[in-house]
Structure 1
Amino acid sequence: MKRSADQAPALEGVASAERTLTLLSAFRKGDGAVSLAELSARTGLVKSTIMRLAVSLEAHGYLGRLPDGSYRLEAELLRLGAIYQQSFRLEAHVMPVLERLVAATGESAAFYIRRGEQRLCLFRVDSPQRLRLHVRAGDLLPMDTSAIAQVLRLFSSVELAGEAEATRFPLYTSGAHDPHAAGMAAPVFGAEDVFVGALTLSGPVTRFTREAAAVAGPVLLEMARGLSRGLGSRLAF
Structure 2
Amino acid sequence: MPKEARPRPKLEGVASAERVLTVLTAFQRGDDALELTELARRTELVKSTIMRLCISLEKFGLIERLDDGRYRLGVEAARIGSVYQQSFALEERVVPVLERLAAESLETASFYIRRGNQRLCLFRADSPYPLRMNVRPGDMRPMDQSAIAQVLATFGDRSARQAAPELPLYTSGITDPHVASLAMPVFGAGGRLIGALALSGPSSRLTAEQADTLAPRLREAAERLSAELGAQV
What range is the shorter-chain TM-score in?
0.5 to 0.7
**What is the deviation of 1:211?**
1.1
Aligned to 2:150: 150
Deviations 1:86-119 (A, max 9, x none): 4141111000000000011000000001111101
Aligned to 2:134: 134
Residues 174/134 of structure 1: CA separation in 2 closer, same or farther (3 Å cut): same
**Alpha-carbon distance in 1 for matches of 2:80, 2:144:** 33
Matches within 5 A, 1:64-213: 84=83, 86-88=85-87, 89-164=89-164, 167-213=165-211
Aligned to 1:46: none
Coordinate RMSD, CA, aligned: 2.7
Number of aligned residue pairs: 165
Give unpaired runs (5+ residues) of structure 1: 1-32, 34-55, 62-79
Larger Rg: 1
**Alpha-carbon distance in 1 for matches of 2:179, 2:108:** 11
Give unpaired runs (5+ residues) of structure 2: 1-8, 10-15, 22-78
Deviations 1:182-207 (A, max 9, x none): 00100000112211110000000111
Where is the helix percentage greater, Structure 1 or Structure 2?
Answer: 1
Q: Report % sequence identity.
A: 52
> In structure 2, what residue type is equivalent to 1:206?
S
Q: The residue matched to 1:212 in structure 2 has which SS?
A: helix
Residues 146/233 of structure 1: CA separation in 2 closer, same or farther (3 Å cut): same
Q: The residue matched to 2:220 in structure 1 has which SS?
A: helix
Residues 194/130 of structure 1: CA separation in 2 closer, same or farther (3 Å cut): same
**Alpha-carbon distance in 2 for matches of 1:133, 1:116:** 23
Aligned to 1:41: none
**What is the deviation of 1:227?**
0.2
TM-score (norm 1): 0.63
**What is the deviation of 1:168?**
1.7
**Alpha-carbon distance in 1 for matches of 2:215, 2:105:** 10
Residues 161/85 of structure 1: CA separation in 2 closer, same or farther (3 Å cut): closer
> In structure 1, what residue type is equivalent to 2:145?
T
Residues 58/120 of structure 1: CA separation in 2 closer, same or farther (3 Å cut): same
Does residue 221 of structure 2 align to residue 223 of structure 1? yes
